Amino acid sequence: MTSFRRLRRLPVAAFTCVALLAGTAMPAQAQFQNEIGHNPALCRADRGPAIFITITGIKQGGGTLRVQLYRGIKADWLQSGRWINRIELPARGGTMQVCMPVPVAGTYAIAVRHDVNNNGRTDLRTDGGGMSNNPSINIFNLGKPSYTSTNFNVPARTVQPIAITMKYM
């Protein structure tokens, strides 16, 4: 009972500080659905951790290129709402480069979708897609590649370059 009486005497500010510190103890990578703007400066050599993504094989210009960062674990990979960061850009045909910041060093995976007609839905006959490590995708099965075939490590204070080749039907 004595310890409770001592706690009651602490100022409200002390409880506020403890609450704020408890909130920051949550790992940064647990924060999902951050829609961010593209900032190439985050991939300078003195920055990081980040991923410098070169996306090739973009069929045509127009529409939206959506790049999503996931933790490279089974529980998160391609699960609805489990992406960490999303960058959307107007698509240009050919090759595009995107800088994706990551919250902390760790294991991640990237998914890219080209919404050709910009309708916000995946149209299998027109839209394109790609993933980190360029796993083979069976277009007849339409199963998603495993997280182990798409994940990779991003070391601390490093800008990790990767290349993704887009695939269309």
Residue 128: name the closest of 69, 83, 62 by CA: 62
Query: Could you tell me the CATH number of the domain that includes residue 126?
Result: 2.60.40
Residue 95 is predicted with a pLDDT of 98
Does residue 143 lie in a domain region?
yes
Does residue 20 lie in a domain region?
no
Residue 83 is predicted with a pLDDT of 97
pTM of the model as a whole: 0.80
- Domain of residue 68 covers 29-165
The first and second tokens of residue 70, run together, are: 């996931």
Tens digit of pLDDT per residue, the chain (169 long)?
444 444 444 443 333 333 333 333 334 445 899 999 999 999 998 788 999 999 999 999 999 999 999 999 999 999 999 999 999 999 999 999 999 999 999 999 999 999 999 999 988 889 999 999 999 876 555 678 999 999 999 999 999 999 999 999 8
Does residue 66 lie in a domain region?
yes
**How far from chain centre, in Å, is Cα 131?**
11
Does residue 15 lie in a domain region?
no
Q: Whose structure tokens read 């980190």?
A: 132
Does residue 16 lie in a domain region?
no
Residue 108 is predicted with a pLDDT of 98
Number of compact structural domains in the chain = 1
Does residue 117 lie in a domain region?
yes
Residue 18 is predicted with a pLDDT of 34
Q: Please calculate the CA angle 60-64-66 and round it to the nearest 5 degrees.
A: 115
Where does residue 60 rank: exposed (0-12), middle (13-18), buried (19+ CB within 10 A)?
Answer: middle
Does residue 39 lie in a domain region?
yes
Residue 59 is predicted with a pLDDT of 95
Does residue 1 lie in a domain region?
no
